[in-house]
Each structure stands twice: as structure tokens, then as C-alpha cells.
Structure 1
Amino acid sequence: MAYQLKNKQLVIDIAEPGDYKGSRFDHSGFITRTTLLEGNHSFCVPESLNPAQGTGGVGICNEFGLSKAIGYDETEVEEKFPKVGVGLLSKTNNEKYDFSENYPLDPFDISALQKDSQSITFTVLPKDCRGFAVMLVKTISIEGNRLTIDYCLHNMGTRIIRTDEYAHNFFGIDDHLMGPDYVLKFPIELSPWSDDEETMDVLSFHEKEVRWKLEPEKEFYFRIKGFEAASYPWIWELLHEPSRTGVRELSKFTVSSVAVWGSRHVVSPEMFIELNLAPGEKKSWSRVYEFFTE
């Protein structure tokens, strides 16, 4: 059974834990669709339009430990290591951890409690893995045209938890393809870079804005410096100019790094937070999205 939040401005569809069966994204609070009722505008799209490609992402889904899973390096082949929000994964080889690999999975137990039509809380229960044990509580709520995701991570094990978290925001407004009709804005002057600069050829950068020269034929990816240890009233905004419809993120946590990924039908601004928790320690943070049409 899927879940839904609704008020006079927004409808938010959320998957049942376990509907997504991959080993990459957090299984709790997996937001598959957001609808702004004024104008009936939609925002969430799948990672790939080909179900046989990609890692199964859609809409607003978050991931812990993109580049380095907890305890992976010390784990022997066929032993397990934890992935926050997902479960205990089995190491299949001695290669570097790869977020895109679908590791064998023993999923965490997840409960859901929906108190009313505008709020739901998911609790991901820990399983000890060589002293690593983490409980995740995620509350998704709406007020007006804003969607808030509150996270609380509790280290219930005996070892330090070092990881990071980001939301892979798979957005395409009303299914319009990426191209000159879109602008992606940031509150800082942009100095983008990429390990493969050819992926940025389809993009143009001017001061605080990113635009598309044409519809991209392949994936694009770049990173941004300058957010570290700073606070802004909003941290990115995606606008479809012909319809004057968009979404902006107003999150207040300290951003540790920024990346932008996308392809022909989707763009995903990714704002990372670094997480270091001693045994017994808790860490809370929130992501806030504002959906609008002008």
C-alpha cells in the first residue's frame, strides 16, 4: 500500500517501504510523485525512462554513503556491511564500493505511522553489524506549498558512524525535457567543474545561473564549490520559464558539497550533508522544498 499526503496546495505520493528493492536508495519515505494543485503541475520523474537502465531512483529519494559505505573496506567478501536506510549488504568482490551495483540485500525493518493527511513518520530499525547499528527516523510533512523532510539519525552501536547523505532530486517539471526553457539558479557565483568536462558542453553558466543550450543527448554532471559553512535563504531553484513553474530547496543545514546530475528528461541538484556520530549520539536535519507557479 502506498501513502499519500494532501492539503489544498500539494499532493505527495510516497511508496510503501519495500516497493523499491534496490541496494542504493533509502527505502523509507521514497517520494514518487509531487503535484502542485494550482495548475496541476507535476515534478517527479524516474531516473531513467528505460526500466532496464539506472538504479531505480524516482522523484525525491535520498542516499547515505554515495562513495564510501560504512565498514565496507574492512568487510571480507561474502560478509555484510550496513547501508543506512537500506539494510545489510553483502560484499561481492574486493573492488571499490560501487553505488550502482545491486548488492545482495538483507533489508532493515521499517515501520510507518501516518497521523493525519499532512504528515507521516517512517522508522528504520537497526540491525547490528560488527558494532555498527543505526536507527533512522524520517518524518515527511506538508504545509501550504512546502514539503519538509525531517531526519533523525541515532547511532545505537558501539562504533563511530561516518557517512554523508543527499537527496537525489529527480525533477522534470510537467515532463518537459531539459533544454533552453529551463534555468537552474543558485545563491552563489558559479565555478563549476567536472572530472569529465565534456559532460558540461550542453550547459552554459552565467554568474548564478545554469542554462541548457539545447536538449541534451547524454548525461551531464558537474560539481560546485562555495557552499561550505555558509547559510542561505534558499540553496537552489529550478524554473520552467514558459509556464513560470518551479521548485526551490530552502534547507538550512550546512552543505558539505554540491553536485548536479541529469539527462534529457531530468535534472537533479544534490546537496550533501556530512554526518559523524559517536556511539549514542543523534543528529537531526531537515530538507524543505517549495513548489510554486508564478
Structure 2
Amino acid sequence: MGYQLKNEKLAVHIAGVGEQYRGARFDWSGFITEVTLLEGKHSFCVPESPVPGKGTGGAGLCSEFGIDKPPGFSETPVGGQFPKLGVGLLTRLTDCEYRFFEEYPVSPFEVEVEEASLNLVRFRVQPEDCRGYAVRQFKTVAIEGDRLTVRYELHNVGKEPIYTEEYCHNFFGIDHRPVGPEYILKFPFEPAPWADREETMAGLVFGAGEVRWSRTPDKPFYFRLPGFDGRRNPWMWELLHLPSGAGVRELSQFPVSSAAVWGEGHVISPEMFIEVNLAPGERKTWERVYHFFTNYSKIL
């Protein structure tokens, strides 16, 4: 069933914990599967893969902690467990390095819904100690006007420090229109993109703070950006669909440790990473704020 947030501007669907997603990668709480801008009935969220059963199960706005290496993984023996924040205790299957796409067995954390209304839902992920690693997590999803806010709070209640990163995999495809020349991805600065493999940037056109697509991609595209101080800009990125004038901006205000953009022919996913370093007893909070709009010329 999940949770439905709705006001005069937005309708947002949030999956029930473990209903939409039960994998080892994305945060099970606050898993946003759809955002609809009621003016024009524009939809924004799409699945990671349009083919059922393919991909790692992502959809809409879903966050991930520790894509490169979760806390405690290095010292976990084969057959032992390590914590994946927002998910649970995962079992290490081999002596290979951590791979985010691996289907590790999951013993999920207990998640409670503390508060729910038409404008807000708040989740609490209970800590479970794993060799001294333990984090209590709160996640609040709220709407006000045409803005959606996701607020995170982490409290290190264990004996070991927590060093990780968080980002939101924003799986966007406005009105399910295919990626191509109809879209523009904008940044409030001149991006300096790079990629491990140049072919992942094929078909992308960079210039004047914009990314455009010369054609609909037939393969995944991907590029990275250096970190930047998101507090110095009024917004971090903006995705615009030209024919409809509908778009979304991320208005978050925090230091971005690194950034990336991933996508395929049906999806564009800007990813802004934030570092999370918590000594025992410490807390950290941050917000991701999204502004959904139409009539683009009127908001300039």
C-alpha cells in the first residue's frame, strides 16, 4: 500500500518498507516511486530498468549509503556480516572487493513509521550492533507547495566510527518521454565532466553550463563531476523537458563531495554525494530539496 502525500501542487507515492524493494543496495525507508505535478499532471519517476526483473531494483528517488564500501566491510570475513545503512546486515559471500550490484543476503533492519499525514511521513531505522558498528537513522519525506524535502538524521550509537557517503539515485524521465534532444540538464556553474571510459559520454553535448543529448541513447551514459560547495548556489542541478516546459531542480544546500550523472534511453539520474563521518555518539543531519515546476519561463 505505501504512503501517499498530497497537497494542491504535488502527489507523491512512497512505497511501504519492503514492498517495492527488498534488495541489498538502496535504503528501504522513504523509497519514493512517483512524483506527480498536478498542474499539467506531469510525472517524473521511472524505474532503473524498463525491463521487469532487470537492473538492481531502483526506481524514482531512492538513496544509497556506501556505494564503494560500506562501514566494516574490509574486516568482515567470508560468511560474516557487515552493515549497509538503510538496508540491514549483509553477508559477505567471497573475498572479493565490495560490489554494489552484488545480491548479498540481507537481514533487514527494523523500520518503524513514527508519523504519517497527507504532508509528511517519518521513518525510524533501529540500530543493530555489528562488531561495534551501529547507527540509528531517521528519514522524513515531506511536501510543501511544489517542493519535496527528504531529511536525513544519523546517530552513531556504536563503538566504531562511521565513514561513508550518501547520494540519491534520482531516476527521472519526465512524462516517460525518451531521453534525447528534448531534454536539457543544467548546472549553475560550468561543469568539468570526465569518465573512466570515454564511450560512456558518447552522444552528450556539453557547453554553457548545460548537458544535451544529440540522440536517444542506445547504451548507458555516465560521467563524473568534481565536488563543489552546494551552499554557494541557489540550486545544484536542473532537468528540463523542453516541449512541456516541465522540470525539476534540486535545491539542496550542502557540500557535495563528488557528483555523477547516469542514465539510459528512458532515464536521467543526477547524483550528488555527501560525506558522512561520525565518531561514536555523533549525529549528522542534511536535507535534499526538490522543486517541481512547469511553465519554465515563469520561474526564471
Deviation at 1:102, TM superposition (A): 1.1
2:150 aligns to what?
149
2:6 aligns to what?
6
Deviation at 1:50, TM superposition (A): 1.1
Look up the SS of the partner of 1:174 in the other structure: helix
* Equivalent residue runs for 1:22-61 within 5 Å: 22-61=23-62
1:218 aligns to what?
219
User: Hey, what's the Cα distance between the residues in 1 that align with 2:266 and 2:184?
Assistant: 14
Deviation at 1:232, TM superposition (A): 1.0
Look up the SS of the partner of 1:137 in the other structure: strand
User: Hey, what's the Cα distance between the residues in 1 that align with 2:136 and 2:49?
Assistant: 30
User: Hey, what's the Cα distance between the residues in 2 that align with 1:71 and 1:101?
Assistant: 17
Deviation at 1:52, TM superposition (A): 2.3
1:127 aligns to what?
128
Deviation at 1:222, TM superposition (A): 0.1
1:166 aligns to what?
167
CA displacement, residues 39-72 of structure 1 (integer Å, 9 cap, x when unaligned): 0000000000112211000000000001111111
Deviation at 1:229, TM superposition (A): 7.0
Kindly indicate whether residue 193 of structure 2 is the aligned counterpart of residue 192 of structure 1. Answer: yes
| Runs of 4+ residues over 3 Å off in structure 1 | none
User: Hey, what's the Cα distance between the residues in 1 that align with 2:94 and 2:181?
Assistant: 43
Deviation at 1:228, TM superposition (A): 4.5
Preserved contact between residue 231 and residue 254 of structure 1 (Cα < 8 Å) = no
Preserved contact between residue 67 and residue 99 of structure 1 (Cα < 8 Å) = yes
User: Hey, what's the Cα distance between the residues in 2 that align with 1:133 and 1:220?
Assistant: 36
For 1:127, the aligned partner's letter is E
Preserved contact between residue 230 and residue 253 of structure 2 (Cα < 8 Å) = no
Q: 227-236 vs 266-275, which deviates more?
A: 227-236
TM-score normalised by the chain length of structure 2? 0.96
User: Hey, what's the Cα distance between the residues in 2 that align with 1:226 and 1:208?
Assistant: 15
CA displacement, residues 233-283 of structure 1 (integer Å, 9 cap, x when unaligned): 100000000100000000001111000000000010000000000000000
Which runs of 5 or more residues in structure 1 are unaligned?
none
